[in-house]
Chain A
């Protein structure tokens, strides 16, 4: 039984490490797109997906550190990411973020 628990624990650890490596590689590729991107919408989409990958990274590191205190942070990154992306999209589309009169 003890042996089984050890095997499971090391399995989770190695899986998390492999996933962190994959997310890190995808972050580097996205960083290339955010820097090189020919147009501004390309950079906006790249930043959006960088934020999603950060959520994944925070979740994986929470698994690695065996804590539940990061769950609020993951939700927080998602919310701020959504608001930031909406603001960026409104700026690219209309030039103003908060309009005075929309009717």
Chain B
């Protein structure tokens, strides 16, 4: 069988994966007052990872991105739970949220809400679940050696 040269796919992947990651981060931060949020941002990030896995193969991506996605799920769940428990410190009910205005260096006056931390937990959990499902299904051949 001749070797297949897929240089066009690889070159477009290097460009498009960055656009995808940027778009996913935009969706993650836009979720407060526009369509978007943690769920769709996590799905977009895992779509970028899947595109890189399709273009470069499993072995190369393990070297580039040495993350075991199974450990990302509990990290996200713990972040989401910690934002819920953190409201007990201030004597508020479970999962209460608050916001405040801060003067950030580049962005100027910005509203920062604690709901963003809960969204970060959702984001990490969605990335972990999606990548675990896809990589577990993909690993059926050559697992023994």
Q: Is A98's CB under 8 angstroms from B23's CB?
A: no
Task: Tell whether A69 is near chain B: CB-to-CB under 8 Å.
Answer: yes
Interfacial chain B residues near A2, Cβ < 8 Å: none
Are A86 and B9 also in contact (CB < 8 A) when A94-B4, A100-B142, A101-B57 are? Answer: yes
Task: Tell whether A75 is near chain B: CB-to-CB under 8 Å.
Answer: yes
User: Which residues 65-82 of A have a CB within 8 angstroms of B?
Assistant: 69, 72-73, 75-76, 79-80, 82
Q: Is B59's CB under 8 angstroms from A83's CB?
A: no
Main secondary structure of the interface of B (DSSP, over half): helix
Closest to B1 in A: A94
Q: Is A80's CB under 8 angstroms from B47's CB?
A: yes
Interfacial chain B residues near A75, Cβ < 8 Å: 23
Q: Is B57's CB under 8 angstroms from A76's CB?
A: no
Q: Is A98's CB under 8 angstroms from B40's CB?
A: no
User: Which residues 1-60 of B have a CB within 8 angstroms of A?
Assistant: 4, 9, 16, 20, 23, 27, 30, 34-36, 40, 44, 47, 50-51, 53-54, 56-60
Q: Is A98's CB under 8 angstroms from B142's CB?
A: no
Q: Is A102's CB under 8 angstroms from B54's CB?
A: no
Q: Is A98's CB under 8 angstroms from B58's CB?
A: yes
Q: Is A99's CB under 8 angstroms from B44's CB?
A: no
Closest to B59 in A: A101
B-side residues, CB < 8 A to A, are 4, 9, 16, 20, 23, 27, 30, 34-36, 40, 44, 47, 50-51, 53-54, 56-60, 134-135, 138-139, 141-142
